[in-house]
Amino acid sequence: MSLPLYVAAEAELQPVDAAAAILLDEGGRYLLQHRDRLPHIFYPDHWGCFGGAVEAGESPAEALQRELQEELELDSQPDQYRLFTRFDFDFSPLGKSKVYRIYYEVRVSQPSRLRLHEGQALGHFAADELFALPRVTPYDSFALWMHYRAGAGR
């Protein structure tokens, strides 16, 4: 049996600080990105939250605003985001730095207006569908589980 791409890829991964959106539509379904199948990204070909790197001079909320505009053409404002949780990752055993991933809850009133510009697909999932998916980025899956368990996605 061969290793999955996210394990076998020889491309060097660059961990960076990131912001991610727990996107919810009017019905409480989670909106996820089916990530591209690229060996240089974390968890290629998995479902995960939209978002990305925090660039120099940006706050995490500003980075998320930029990423949601770039990835989905979602016009949003950071004051519409609700901070949900933060994960810290220590990559020092791999000769890298410590980084964070901050999650914000973002409600989307008209998801049909979204236009996907990054990733293979945009999916809308009820919690039971989401947690039955075969490939979800582990850290996003954990944040989504926490969100669901907190009652925020119901």
d(CA 73, CA 87): 26
Residue 154 belongs to some domain of the structure: no
Residue 40 belongs to some domain of the structure: yes
Residue 130 belongs to some domain of the structure: yes
Best CA proximity match to 80, nearest among 104, 52, 53, 111: 104
CATH number of the domain residue 123 falls in = 3.90.79.10
Q: Does residue 32 contact residue 113 with C-beta atoms inside 8 Å?
A: no
Residue 10, pLDDT score: 76
Residue 154, pLDDT score: 53
Residue 24 belongs to some domain of the structure: yes
Q: Which residues of 74-99 are buried (b: 16+ CB within 10 A; e: fewer)?
A: bebeeeebeebbebeeeeeeeeeeeb
How high is the mean pLDDT in each 10-residue block of the chain (154 residues)?
A: 72 90 96 93 95 97 98 95 98 94 96 94 96 96 97 64
Domain that holds residue 127: 5-149
> What's the domain count of the chain?
1
